[in-house]
């Protein structure tokens, strides 16, 4: 925020004001300044011991990072300058040596002294400047080689223990064409310091090369003096007051900005980066300046507010934390020093309440001014106080940095221009391959326009994603500046063209017109009856006991339908079905439809007992079941029809199709209620549209042999039974109670020559690929498909998802397992349906940005059973439809759209939680953990309640719990799973507790029965379930004893702290040897 030029400008303003003072005022002012200068002189004395010296807090942070990754060049500061002149190498060498003599920090190395890191300062150091002659290389290869050498030099790491920590190289391209490469480690320098080095070296070179005498001003103190003084200032009430401010200011701020990323965040932060350069056009740049003037904000404040809003819209977070560097050189003694002085301000922008942009600017202005008043508090101390669980997968406290006017250094070209010298330097742009943060946006005011760069971490972002982000930032800026009175959530993020493209992308190829008309008017049971007339002797159902032809099935269903009519079943009459034998389930469902009733399939007695109160009040007059099920039935006032017991009364009924006046608006099926929502009603039209659209992409035809474990669920009815029978396929029905013995299931599938599977992914996981050679197509009934299961079957198999076909009359095709982010795949919407990702204001979000999933609903939908409030909240007006009355179904799921159009599942809206300030997605963890060769099945959930973290039990703090089923014969310890995750996921995504199970409890629909999962002991944490050990083979027994004396549990330390501790102990032990 503060550059050397800004300080010079402020001094000029102060000088001008001083000249306007009266003699008396001037005398008093000078006395006041003299007093302050004397006080400052007392505060920054020279140290008593030359070497060793303690590290400054800034240096301590970089030393810590160096211990973690000593081969990294991420903190190299590199500057390259091209000089169109013949260099005097002797003068150049002398000038560099003199600068090194003046600044102790350039002669400094770092190492442990008595167990503590220290600065080791050499009394003298001659800095050798190698000259590489490239004149023998023909052009243009010469320039290419110079750039290659420059790139290699910038990436050469420093050894902080050996030094020197500054390198200079000269490339000789021609007699009057030289390139100077300057590389310094950030631990001894910063942007301001580079300016000092270049400026002093340039002045010395000009004097030495011309024979002029020169004497630079003596330095009042050295960097090590500052480090000692800084350590002495870490106590006292002023510091505590600043700490209280920062604790209050950052209370509630997330530890991690939840930006949508393209790749899983690695366990250790990668510093690989690229930069994207862009310009803000002159008109927009001028508008930004005008708005800043009107709002009484600086350009920095206006850009901070705007970029924070963009990040908020991308992350769906209201607290946006951004870092920015401050020079931290407000003491005159420090200004001429080379060293790592820059401090980092942590700026938290609050966007709650949907303010206008004017209001947001005022919030940011007040926040930035207050933060600047408390800028002296060291960033490293702030990290220690506020974020004790250091996670090396991301920068602490903030992951995005904002720079205005770019770097705080001046290069040789600027210095030469100011000195009006004859040397003609040029800047030489180099590709930046370093990203210290997830994102770093730099904005430089060029007068007529803003020159901008967005540096991004290539380990988590693709360039296309960042390019889209830049476009959205420019669109957002333009809309904000054109009307600052807008509420910030209402300001368009997308251009009109992009918004239209996203709306069109939500609509896929429509189904054939003829099939659409049929779907809107036909009844599904009449289509099945037509199939029975067309192929009466074809096999409709195969079970372990019998084969049922289409004629037999149709006649049995007709007899049962006539019987139901005689009992009082009619149009829209709800009929509950709870049957154990799958062939009875298919029969009962078809018969209820023929009688005009509404099918209520129940998977188990628990579902039956949770029947929504709305149905109870209007009564469900009928229940179709079997004799052996009756003892388990809840007490209800209904007529019970047992197919086995009452078949003697059903069989005599007529075998022809009942004649009823039904329309597609009549009810056909109800999806049983859950704890979260009432029963969902589906009309014949909705079911027909679902069947028609699904069959347009799923390969079920008269040659298909379709396997489904049971017919007890609405998903089985809609995904397997009805479409299979409509198309004349053979249903191979297998009782789910017999699903457990794997050999029996594999044998049944192979024996029945099954071609299409309809089942959940967990049920799919029970099948052996090798024993199922005839399977070509898989239809999963999960709402989300775990990647680790899909990847077993995708090669050689077509996979379709019908998990949403009941709740939203919508299915999806999965034709790729490619998911950079390891998120579960939802897939493409099927033809004829529209799927939208909309923000809280019902506007489309950019590609890759998570938002709630909305699906086109049928205009005739009945919604939820006698629950108008739930229906109104889930079936909302369609904002993009031209047809009046159109509605969208609000799924309650957060998803994101990939660039290829595939939808990925993020989380249920009810499951959106943060763990210690970081948003987690259990599905990602399942996908990674499921790749472990010893894991057969895994389920990860977020458990709310008491938890333990680093030795601190915190009531109400959620934690991750992993339920794991091992492969047969596997005996991997939990520590193996932790080690597996340690290489693939950040620590905050590691489950706190692992629970090993013989099998995951499944509901009858094949999904995990979460209510049956065992709850972990609330006192159990990661140190109880598995040790977090490191490879300590090089640490001898004496070192281990030293560590034991520290009385620090390993589970109370982050991985990074343990690594640093072990390195210290190892060095201590080595010295004693």
Residue range 936-966, pLDDT digits in tens: 989 999 887 644 333 333 456 788 999 999 9
Does the pLDDT value for residue 1042 go beyond 50? no
Work out the average pLDDT over 186-207.
93
Tens digit of pLDDT for each residue in 807-854?
444 556 666 656 566 787 777 665 566 788 999 889 899 999 999 999
Report the pLDDT averaged over residues 684-696.
76
Q: Would you say residue 886 lies in a domain? A: yes
Partners of 443 in the β-ladder: 404, 452
Residue 1039 banded pLDDT, cuts 50, 70, 90: very low
Least confident range of 18-32, 89-103, 826-840, 1057-1071? 1057-1071
DSSP string, 1029-1071: ----TTS-HHHHHHHHHTT--GGGS-HHHHHHHHHHHHHHHHH
Task: Provide the CATH number for the domain around residue 994.
Answer: 3.30.300.30
- 252, with CB counted inside 10 A (0-12, 13-18, 19+), is exposed
**Same structural domain, 690 and 572:** yes
The count of C-alpha atoms lying within 13 angstroms of the C-alpha of 38, restricted to the half-sphere facing its C-beta, is 6
Task: Please check the confidence at residue 432 and state whether its pLDDT lies above 80.
Answer: no
Does one domain contain both 205 and 243?
no
- Greater confidence, 896 or 477? 477
As a 3-state breakdown, the chain gives helix, strand, coil percent values, each rounded to 5, of: 40, 20, 40
Q: Are residues 569 and 679 in the same domain?
A: yes
Share of the chain above pLDDT 70, in %: 79
Band (783; pLDDT cuts 50, 70, 90): confident
Within-domain flag for 321: yes
Q: Considering 897, 928, 947, which residue would you say is the last residue of a domain?
A: 897
Nearest in space to 704 (alpha carbons), one of 600, 779, 636, 764:
779
Same domain, 352 and 391: yes
Place of tokens 């010295």: 1071
SS3 79: strand
* Parent domain of 1051: 1037-1072
**Least confident segment among 441-450, 863-872, 888-897:** 863-872
pLDDT for the residue numbered 812? 62
If asked whether residues 356 and 299 sit together in one domain, one would say yes
Asked if residue 232 belongs to a domain, the reply is no
CATH code of the domain containing 706: 3.40.50.12780
Question: Does one domain contain both 189 and 327?
Answer: no
Q: Is the pLDDT of residue 786 over 80?
A: no
- Residues 564-610: tens digit of each pLDDT: 999 999 999 989 898 888 889 899 999 999 999 999 888 777 667 66
> How many domains is the chain built from?
6
More confident: 696 or 586: 586
- The structure's pTM equals 0.81
With b meaning 16 or more CB within 10 Å and e meaning fewer, what string describes 894-922? bbbbbeeebbbbbbeeebbebbbbbbbbb
**Mean pLDDT lowest among 484-498, 795-809, 858-872:** 795-809
Last residue of a domain, one of 198, 226, 254: 226
**pLDDT at residue 486 greater than cutoff 70:** yes
Tokens of 703: 């040659």
More confident position, 66 or 9: 66
Using H for helix, E for strand and C for coil, what is the string for 276-293? EEEEECHHHHHHHHHHHH
Q: In this model, does residue 701 exceed pLDDT 70? A: yes
- Is the pLDDT at 420 greater than 60, yes or no? no
- 295 and 439 fall within a common domain: yes
Domain finish residue from 897, 928, 955: 897
Residue 428's pLDDT is 60
Domain presence at residue 231? no
Instruction: Kindly report the CATH number assigned to the domain that includes residue 162.
Output: 3.30.559.10
Cα–Cα distance for residue pair 94/376, rounded to 1 Å: 37
| d(C-alpha 276, C-alpha 46), whole Å | 45
In a domain, 1031, yes or no: no
Between CA 168 and CA 128 the distance in angstroms is: 8
> What pLDDT does 518 receive?
52
User: Residue 127 domain-assigned?
Assistant: yes
Q: Which residues contact 27 (CB under 8 A, 6 or more apart)?
A: none
Among left, alpha and beta (phi > 0; psi -120 to 50; other), residue 693 is alpha
**The pLDDT of residue 254:** 92
C-alpha angle 287-291-292 in degrees, rounded to nearest 5: 115
Q: What is the pLDDT of residue 504?
A: 67
In degrees rounded to 5, what are phi and psi of residue 879?
-75, -15
Q: What angle do CA 978, 984, 988 make, to 5 degrees?
A: 65
Cβ atoms of 254 and 321 within 8 Å: the answer is yes
Is residue 812 situated within a structural domain?
A: yes
Identify whether 568 is part of a domain.
Answer: yes
Around Cβ 203, how many Cβ atoms within 10 Å? 17
Tell whether 947 and 860 lie within a shared domain.
Answer: no
Residue 442 pairs in a beta bridge with 403, 453
3 state SS of 952: strand
DSSP 3-state of 751: helix
Q: Could you tell me if 187 and 62 are in contact, meaning their C-beta atoms sit under 8 angstroms apart?
A: yes
Query: Do residues 60 and 16 both lie within one domain?
Result: no
Distance CA 69, CA 67 (A): 6
Q: What's the rounded Cα separation, in Å, for the pair 302 and 830?
A: 44
pLDDT at 376: 87
How does DSSP assign 238-290, residue by residue?
HHHHHHHHHHHHTTT--SS-----SSPPPSS---BEEEEEEEE-HHHHHHHHH
Contact 942, 911 (CB under 8 A): yes
Q: pLDDT band for position 317 (50/70/90)?
A: very high
Same domain, 39 and 57: no
CA nearest to 871, candidates 880, 853, 858:
858
Give yes or no for residue 673 having a pLDDT over 80: no
Distance CA 350, CA 435 (A): 26
Within this chain, do residues 287 and 411 fall inside the same structural domain, yes or no?
Answer: yes
Q: What is the CATH number of the domain that holds 424?
A: 3.30.559.30
Tell me the per-residue pLDDT of 604-635, one tens digit each, with 9 for 90 and over: 776 676 665 545 545 678 999 999 888 888 77
Query: Using one digit for the tens of pLDDT, what is the confidence trace for 349-392?
Result: 999 999 999 999 999 999 999 999 999 899 988 998 887 677 88
- Provide the H-helix boundaries in 316-438: 357-373, 379-386, 412-419
pLDDT for residue 22: 63
When the pLDDT of each residue in the chain is averaged and rounded to a whole number, the result is: 81
| pLDDT confidence tier of residue 772, bands split at 50, 70 and 90 | confident
Amino acid 735: pLDDT: 65
Token couple for 742: 């794997």
pLDDT-based confidence at residue 412 (cuts at 50, 70, 90)? very low
| Number of other CB atoms surrounding residue 11 within 10 Å | 10
- If asked whether residues 872 and 797 sit together in one domain, one would say yes
Backbone angles phi, psi at 853, to 5 degrees: -90, 125
């Amino acid at each position: 925020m503060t550059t050397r030029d800004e300080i010079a400008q402020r001094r000029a303003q102060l000088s001008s004001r001083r000249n306007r003072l009266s003699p008396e005022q001037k005398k008093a002012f000078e006395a006041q300044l003299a007093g302050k200068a004397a006080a400052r002189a007392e505060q920054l004395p020279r140290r008593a011991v030359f070497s060793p010296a303690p590290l400054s807090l800034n240096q301590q942070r970089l030393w810590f990072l160096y211990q973690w990754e000593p081969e990294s060049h991420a903190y190299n500061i590199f500057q390259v300058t091209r000089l169109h002149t013949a260099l005097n190498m002797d003068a150049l060498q002398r000038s560099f040596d003199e600068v090194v003599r003046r600044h102790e920090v350039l002669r400094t190395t770092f190492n442990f002294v008595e167990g503590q890191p220290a600065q080791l300062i050499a009394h003298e150091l001659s800095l050798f400047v190698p000259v590489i002659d490239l004149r023998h290389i023909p052009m243009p290869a010469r320039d290419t080689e110079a750039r290659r050498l420059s790139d290699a030099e910038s990436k050469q790491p420093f050894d902080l223990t050996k030094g020197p920590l500054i390198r200079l190289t000269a490339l000789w391209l021609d007699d009057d064409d030289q390139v100077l490469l300057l590389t310094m480690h950030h631990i001894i320098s910063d942007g301001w310091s580079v300016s000092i080095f270049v400026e002093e070296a340039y002045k010395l070179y000009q004097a030495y090369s011309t024979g002029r005498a020169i004497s630079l001003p003596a330095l009042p103190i050295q960097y090590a003096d500052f480090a000692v003084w800084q350590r002495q200032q870490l106590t006292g009430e002023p510091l505590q007051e600043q700490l209280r401010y920062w604790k209050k200011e950052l209370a509630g701020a997330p530890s991690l900005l939840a930006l949508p990323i393209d790749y899983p965040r690695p366990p250790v932060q990668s510093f690989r980066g690229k930069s994207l350069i862009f310009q803000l056009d002159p008109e927009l740049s001028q508008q930004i300046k005008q708005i800043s003037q009107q709002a009484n904000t600086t350009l920095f404040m206006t850009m901070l507010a705007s970029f924070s809003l963009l990040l908020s819209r991308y992350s769906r977070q209201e607290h946006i934390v951004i870092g920015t560097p401050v020079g931290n050189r407000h003491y005159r003694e420090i200004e001429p020093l080379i060293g790592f002085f820059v401090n980092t301000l942590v700026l938290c922008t609050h966007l709650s309440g949907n303010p206008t942009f004017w209001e947001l600017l005022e919030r940011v202005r007040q926040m930035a001014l207050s933060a600047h008043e408390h800028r002296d508090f060291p960033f490293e101390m702030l990290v220690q106080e506020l974020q004790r669980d250091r996670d090396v997968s991301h920068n602490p406290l903030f992951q995005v940095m904002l720079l205005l006017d770019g770097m705080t250094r001046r290069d040789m070209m600027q210095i030469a221009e100011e000195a009006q010298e004859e040397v003609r330097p040029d800047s030489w742009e180099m590709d930046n391959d370093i990203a210290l943060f997830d994102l770093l946006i730099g904005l430089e005011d060029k007068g007529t326009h803003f020159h901008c760069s967005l540096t991004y971490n290539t380990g988590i972002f693709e360039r296309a994603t960042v390019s889209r982000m830049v476009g959205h930032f420019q669109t957002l800026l333009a809309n904000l500046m054109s009307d600052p009175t807008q509420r910030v959530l209402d300001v368009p993020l997308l251009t009109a063209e992009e918004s239209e493209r996203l709306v069109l992308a939500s609509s896929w190829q429509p189904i054939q017109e003829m099939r659409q008309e049929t779907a809107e008017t036909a009844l599904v049971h009449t289509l099945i009856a037509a199939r029975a007339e067309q192929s009466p002797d074809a096999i409709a159902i195969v079970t372990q006991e019998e084969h049922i032809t289409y004629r037999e099935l149709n006649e049995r269903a007709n007899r049962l339908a006539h019987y139901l009519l005689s009992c009082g079943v009619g149009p829209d009459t709800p009929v509950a079905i709870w049957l154990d034998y799958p062939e009875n389930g298919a029969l009962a469902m078809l018969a209820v439809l023929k009688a005009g009733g509404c099918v209520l399939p129940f998977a188990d007695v628990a579902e039956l007992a949770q029947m929504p109160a709305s149905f109870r009040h209007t009564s469900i007059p009928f229940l179709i079941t079997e004799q052996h099920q009756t003892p388990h039935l809840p007490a209800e006032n209904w007529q019970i029809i047992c197919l086995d017991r009452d078949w003697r009364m059903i069989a005599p009924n007529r075998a022809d199709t009942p004649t009823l006046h039904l329309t597609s608006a009549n009810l056909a099926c109800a999806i049983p209620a859950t704890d979260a929502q009432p029963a969902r009603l589906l009309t014949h039209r909705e079911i027909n549209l679902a069947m028609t659209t699904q069959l347009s992409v799923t390969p079920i035809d008269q040659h298909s042999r379709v396997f489904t474990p049971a017919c007890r669920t609405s998903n089985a009815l809609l995904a397997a039974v009805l479409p299979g029978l409509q198309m004349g396929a053979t249903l191979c029905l297998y009782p789910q109670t017999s699903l457990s013995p794997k050999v029996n299931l594999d044998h049944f599938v192979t024996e029945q020559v099954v071609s299409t599977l309809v089942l959940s992914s967990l049920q799919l996981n029970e099948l052996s690929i090798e024993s199922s050679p005839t399977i070509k197509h898989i239809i999963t009934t999960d709402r989300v498909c775990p990647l680790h299961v899909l990847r077993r079957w995708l090669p050689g198999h077509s996979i379709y998802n019908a998990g949403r076909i009941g709740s939203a009359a919508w299915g999806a095709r999965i034709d790729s397992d490619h998911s950079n982010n390891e998120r579960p795949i939802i897939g493409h919407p099927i033809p004829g349906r529209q799927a939208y990702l909309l923000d809280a204001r019902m506007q489309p979000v950019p590609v890759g940005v998570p938002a709630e999933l909305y699906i086109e609903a049928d205009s005739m939908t009945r919604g939820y059973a006698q629950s108008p409030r739930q229906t109104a909240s889930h079936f909302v007006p369609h904002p993009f439809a031209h047809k009046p009355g159109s509605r969208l179904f609000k799924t309650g799921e957060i998803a994101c759209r990939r660039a290829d159009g595939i939808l990925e599942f993020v989380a249920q809206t009810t499951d959106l939680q943060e763990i210690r300030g970081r948003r987690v997605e259990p599905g990602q963890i399942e996908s990674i953990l499921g790749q472990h060769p010893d894991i057969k099945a895994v389920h990860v959930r977020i458990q709310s309640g008491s938890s333990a973290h680093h030795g601190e039990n915190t009531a109400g703090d959620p934690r991750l719990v992993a339920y794991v089923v091992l492969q047969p014969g596997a005996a991997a310890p939990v520590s193996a799973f932790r080690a597996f995750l340690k290489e693939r996921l950040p620590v905050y995504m590691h489950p706190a507790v692992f629970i090993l199970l013989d099998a995951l409890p499944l509901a009858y629909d094949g999904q995990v029965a979460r209510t049956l999962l065992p709850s972990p002991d609330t006192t159990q944490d990661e140190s109880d379930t598995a040790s977090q050990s490191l490879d300590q083979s090089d640490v001898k027994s004496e070192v281990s004893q030293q560590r034991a004396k520290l009385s620090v549990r390993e589970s109370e330390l982050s991985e990074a702290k343990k690594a640093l501790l072990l390195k210290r102990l190892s060095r201590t032990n080595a010295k004693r040897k």
